[in-house]
Amino acid sequence: MKTCLYTLALVAALPVLAQPQKTVDPQQRLEWWTEARFGMFIHWGIYTVPAGEWNGQPVRGLGEWIMNRSKIPVRDYEKLATQFNPVKFNADEWVAVAKNAGMKYLTITSKHHDGFAMYGSKVSPYNIVDATPFHRDPMKDLAAACQRAGIKLCFYYSQTQDWHEPNGVGNTWDFKEPSPLEFEKYYNEKVIPQVRELLTNYGPIGLIWFDTPRNITQEQSQKLADLVHQLQPTCLVSGRVGHGLGDYDSAGDNQISMGAVKRPWETPVTLNDTWGFKKDDHNWKPAQVLVRQLATTSSRGGNYLLNVGPTSEGVIPPESVERLAEVGKWMKVNGEAIYGTSANPFPYDVPWGVITSKPGRLYLHVFRWPGKELVLYGLRSKVQQAKLLAGALVRFAQKEDELNGYTALTLSLPAQPLDPNDSVIALDIAGKVEVDPSLQQQPDLTVTMPPQLGDLHKSPGSQARPDSRGVMERWTRAQDWIEWSFKVNHPGAFDVELVTSQQKYGDGWDGGQRVSIEIASQKVSGLVADNGKEDNPSNPYWPYVISKMGQVKIDKAGTYSATLKPDDIPTGQKFGLTVVAVRLVPAK
Ligand code: JFZ
């Protein structure tokens, strides 16, 4: 009996002893996360009391930045805590909204740049339990609700900016910027112990979403990442911990990366134009945009982290709940085309939508319904079955030639899409999915040549490169040029178009460059001028600008080369030549 009790005591003590020893390789840590593909971001803090308005005036910009935007002194901002009382907060309801949408994890702001801890912290009294009339720790409720629902709880934590602390970074209106030594003090006395609390008091945490590293040192970033991994070996560290030390990369907000991304990555996205609640922001993205962005992010091998901004009462805006429910309806039918999928195996986008994949499966996400027939070029593997996830089996035929094997797949479809947001066709493939990686003319007869699929010839010192959206950035030198090789399947006459991109919400674009485009040894030249706008199919907030450059004729099917060379780029351009693609469109 005595031995028995002794053993029991030892077993009970074991988890404590065993904790720091366990090591997990980063690959293993990422497993649940890449399977999940879809998460909920929650920005919630005392900035939801002013909700985008200060002294009766609307404040431009992000809701959670109001303290900074309006240069609100710490002493005034602190008072907001006494008005923060989220009596309608219900953790199970929030988690149900996420789960219902098909989301698998939830990342909530435990402390944003304003420095206010939204959980019960012993490190600083500036927290929701000690400083608000609510006097409760919502993260305890959320941890329990997430456990019940099988959702991973994750915390956002602003490690560098802290506008409440004299030694934190960012508050230039109350304090002077901290010296490295002062910042180290803040880091040791607030950041490290608070991150420790978050990883100790709330059960298993999926990831810590650090943000805006700013002037944090490499050692400090490393120590944070190590602390997280030491306390919870399976907990991921976001890319914004700084110095590339995260377990995965973060795209810029509302950006969806193009082409092959080498590291696992995630894009944080707003449902309207703010993260933290603003009462006058009604610019909600339609569910169609959300579904297509989710599918597009998956098709590029990334995770989609979609934000809600609950009010100071603890209510997720009904406009958000409605849209998430619609995404959830789509996910219930089509979730297998998202969860655990890998990127599109083709290096280019198809004209009608996007493609996701799994071993032995391809998912065709059809955004623009082609009518009764959809043709896919370049799939070398044999298709065994095709099925609309929302409906019936689909008849199909595969063309084969001696040299290349299978070349074209033709699917016979209903005349109307089953889902106007995204109708998914699942293809069962015999063996491995094999594709022809070469850039080729598509069944709609267009040829689209994006910069990331060309050879970029840079002059010495040039900063030009495709950014994370696939758009050329810092192309301000006429000496830089791009070259492509492409296959023509259907000869004919083509209009040559140069597709460039505006910046977010149509702000900022430089034209007036003179460029020459050579296609199959025929040269056209022209001015980059706005000859019409076009929706960016993966993100309506970064519209395209089309410039018409002339016409070329291609008489025979075959492989050709194309070059894009600037003749002149006016000096002093901010954005330069924001090339998205050179495009050939059949001439009318
Ligand atoms: C940061 C925060 O400042 C903001 O309040 C919000 O929390 C957001 C999710 O993250 O803002 C950023 C940080 C980085 C980029 C864009 C917005 N970025 O790299 O493009």
Is the CB of residue 247 below 6 angstroms from any atom belonging to ligand 1? no
Centroid of ligand 1 to alpha carbon of 269 (angstroms): 10
Q: pLDDT digits over 243-271, tens only?
A: 999 999 988 777 777 665 678 999 999 99
Q: Are strands 481-488 and 105-111 parallel, antiparallel or unpaired?
A: unpaired
Residue 16 has pLDDT above 70, yes or no: no
Q: Could you give the C-alpha distances from 297 to 43, 292, 304, 422, in angstroms and in order?
A: 21, 8, 6, 14
Centroid of ligand 1 to alpha carbon of 31 (angstroms): 25
The full DSSP string for 358-409 is ETTEEEEEESS--SSEEEEE-B-SPEEEEEETTS-B-EEEEEEETTTEEEEE
Centroid of ligand 1 to alpha carbon of 275 (angstroms): 9
Rounded distance between C-alpha atoms, residue 111 and residue 49, angstroms: 16
Residue 275 has pLDDT above 80, yes or no: yes
Which residue's alpha carbon is at the smallest distance from atom 7 of ligand 1? 275
Is the CB of residue 252 below 6 angstroms from any atom belonging to ligand 1? yes
Is the CB of residue 64 below 6 angstroms from any atom belonging to ligand 1? yes
Q: pLDDT digits over 323-339, tens only?
A: 999 999 999 999 999 99
How large is the average pLDDT for residues 135-140? 98
Q: What is the DSSP letter of 446?
A: -
Which residue's alpha carbon is at the smallest distance from atom 12 of ligand 1? 253
Centroid of ligand 1 to alpha carbon of 211 (angstroms): 7
Centroid of ligand 1 to alpha carbon of 212 (angstroms): 7
- The pTM for the full model equals 0.93
Is the CB of residue 211 below 6 angstroms from any atom belonging to ligand 1? yes
Q: pLDDT value at position 513?
A: 97
**In degrees, to the nearest 5, what angle opens at C-alpha 335 toward C-alphas 334 and 336?**
95
Residue 114 identity (one-letter amino acid): D
| Cβ atoms of 301 and 265 closer than 8 Å | yes
Is the CB of residue 268 below 6 angstroms from any atom belonging to ligand 1? yes
Percent of the chain, pLDDT > 70? 96
Confidence of residue 341 (pLDDT cuts 50, 70, 90): very high
Q: What is the DSSP letter of 252?
A: P
Q: What is the DSSP letter of 166?
A: T
Which residue's alpha carbon is at the smallest distance from atom 15 of ligand 1? 252
How large is the average pLDDT for residues 319-325? 98
Centroid of ligand 1 to alpha carbon of 542 (angstroms): 17
Look at residues 567, 566, 586, 588 and name the one whose alpha carbon lies nearest to residue 578: 566
Sequence-distant (≥ 6) Cβ neighbours of residue 403 within 8 angstroms:
none
Centroid of ligand 1 to alpha carbon of 555 (angstroms): 50
Q: pLDDT value at position 22?
A: 66
Residue 19 has pLDDT above 90, yes or no: no
Is the CB of residue 275 below 6 angstroms from any atom belonging to ligand 1? yes
- Determine the 3-state secondary structure of 141 from DSSP: helix
Q: pLDDT digits over 156-200, tens only?
A: 999 999 999 999 999 999 999 999 999 999 999 999 999 999 999
Q: pLDDT value at position 262?
A: 72
